[in-house]
């Protein structure tokens, strides 16, 4: 199955493997200098300012899926990282791009909203998040009526196909960790989660590797913990079906938490603001307020409350998104 995954058709966009390095100064600042604390920098996948969406789009935009395609269509919020990378990919490929964005048109676009437009995307505004899916389909119909051929990419590229990007990332991560110090009793991976494709891919990857001593902690940006876990398993099963793998997913290895959501999606909290400052001050790492700062807040909370021990190896998967900070 690992060979089948490695040979799966994809377009090369990301700079891989992404680096992994210790967070020693952060550990010291948290009063846990003996903690084996690391960061996997998927913020440095490179293309279109990087982030986790690049790995997923490599599979969604495989050459065989782009035959005769004239336009990429997807949807997201005003500061969507997924929309940013999709628009950049369309520009690279010479394709038209339409983005369905919820919320009012900004007077002066900043951050990802600015990048969406710089990459040449056509912006279709809808009032609310729940309006995006319907508009995706109607925009696709409009393009077909104009004589074009669209490819609709689901929000976040969080599909079974997109999850293969993070199954491959899990294999990359544990190959890198094998070159570190002696194996720990447990490896705990912290990652931001919303549309769940990244977490699902990690689950599929550790299941393919049969890693029973791994805990994946998905820190929600919006949904309940129950929804995160259910959606993660669904997408991971879809990825497994694509690979024609009939093994058992290590579903007990996924723990979703929703105690960092605060007042809602995209709204910072005192804990996420603190995490953003600590990562910048002690490690020179830039987080974003919607995803990675809340994930880092979850990591810090677990360290402070003793939910991880000095016998664990802790990995923070930095999924990027820093343009969202500049808004």
CATH number of the domain residue 93 falls in: 3.40.50.1100
Residue 55 within any structural domain of the chain:
no
Mean pLDDT in residue range 248-268: 96
For the chain, the average pLDDT equals: 96
Residue 219: pLDDT band (50, 70, 90) is very high
Cα–Cα distance, 137 to 142 (Å, whole number) = 9
Q: DSSP code of 110?
A: -
Residues 89, 12 share a domain: no
Closest alpha carbon to 192 in 145, 260, 267: 260
Residue 106 within any structural domain of the chain:
yes
Asked if 327 and 51 touch (Cβ cutoff 8 Å), the reply is no
Residue 195 within any structural domain of the chain:
yes
Residue 247: pLDDT band (50, 70, 90) is very high
Between 305 and 266, the higher pLDDT residue: 305
Regarding pTM above 0.75, the answer is yes
Mean pLDDT in residue range 103-131: 94
Domain of 35?
2-50+158-325
Residue 41: pLDDT band (50, 70, 90) is very high
Residues 192, 132 share a domain: no
Q: Is residue 153's pLDDT more than 90?
A: yes
Asked if 156 and 291 touch (Cβ cutoff 8 Å), the reply is no
Residues 321, 174 share a domain: yes
pLDDT at 316: 98
The separation between CA 33 and the C-alpha centre of its own chain, rounded to angstroms, equals 28
Total structural domains in the chain? 2
Q: Is residue 183's pLDDT more than 80?
A: no
Last residue of a domain, one of 115, 137, 152: 152
Closest alpha carbon to 4 in 153, 151, 171: 171
Residues 252, 174 share a domain: yes
Q: Please provide the DSSP assignment of 183-231 as one string.
A: --SEEEEEEEESS-HHHHHHHHHHHHHT-TTEEEEEEESSS-HHHHHHH
pLDDT at 1: 79
Residue 253 within any structural domain of the chain:
yes
Cα–Cα distance, 304 to 39 (Å, whole number) = 18
Residues 173, 102 share a domain: no
SS3 content of the chain, % helix, strand, coil (to 5): 45, 15, 35
Asked if 43 and 322 touch (Cβ cutoff 8 Å), the reply is yes
C-beta neighbour count of 282 within 10 angstroms:
16
Residues 293, 236 share a domain: yes
Last residue of a domain, one of 101, 134, 152: 152
Mean pLDDT in residue range 35-58: 98
Residues 115, 229 share a domain: no
Mean pLDDT in residue range 44-57: 98
pLDDT at 326: 87
Last residue of a domain, one of 152, 179, 203: 152
- 96 sits in the region (left: phi over 0; alpha: psi -120 to 50; else beta) called beta
* 72-87 confidence digits (pLDDT tens): 999 999 999 999 999 9
């Amino acid at each position: 199955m690992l060979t089948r995954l490695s040979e799966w058709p994809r377009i090369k966009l990301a700079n891989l493997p992404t680096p992994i390095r210790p967070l020693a100064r952060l550990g010291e600042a948290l009063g846990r200098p003996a903690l084996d604390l690391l960061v996997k920098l998927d913020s440095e996948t490179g293309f279109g300012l990087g982030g986790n969406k690049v790995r997923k789009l490599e599979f969604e935009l495989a050459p065989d899926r782009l035959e005769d395609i004239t336009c990429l269509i997807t949807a997201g919020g005003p500061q969507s990282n997924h929309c940013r990378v999709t628009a950049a990919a369309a520009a690279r490929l010479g394709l038209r791009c339409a983005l369905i964005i919820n919320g009012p048109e900004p007077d002066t676009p900043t951050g990802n909203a600015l990048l969406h437009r710089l990459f040449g995307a056509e912006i279709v505004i809808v009032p609310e998040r729940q309006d995006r899916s319907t508009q995706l389909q109607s925009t696709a119909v409009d393009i077909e009526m104009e004589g074009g051929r669209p490819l609709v990419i689901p929000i976040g590229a969080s599909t079974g196909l997109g999850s293969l990007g993070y199954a491959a990332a899990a294999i990359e991560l544990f190959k890198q960790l094998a070159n570190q110090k002696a194996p720990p009793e447990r490896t705990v991976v912290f990652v931001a989660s919303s549309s769940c494709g990244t977490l699902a891919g990690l689950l599929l990857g550790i299941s393919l590797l049969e890693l029973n001593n791994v805990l994946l902690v998905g820190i929600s940006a919006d949904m309940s913990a129950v929804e995160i876990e259910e959606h993660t398993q669904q997408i991971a099963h879809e990825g497994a079906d694509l690979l024609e793998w009939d093994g058992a997913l290590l579903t007990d290895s996924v723990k979703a938490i929703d105690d960092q959501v605060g007042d809602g999606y995209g709204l910072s909290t005192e804990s996420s603001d603190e995490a953003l400052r600590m990562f910048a001050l002690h490690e020179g790492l830039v987080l974003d307020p919607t995803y990675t700062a809340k994930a880092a807040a979850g990591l810090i909370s677990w360290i402070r409350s003793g939910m991880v021990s000095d016998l664990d190896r802790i990995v923070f998967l930095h999924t990027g998104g820093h343009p969202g900070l500049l808004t």
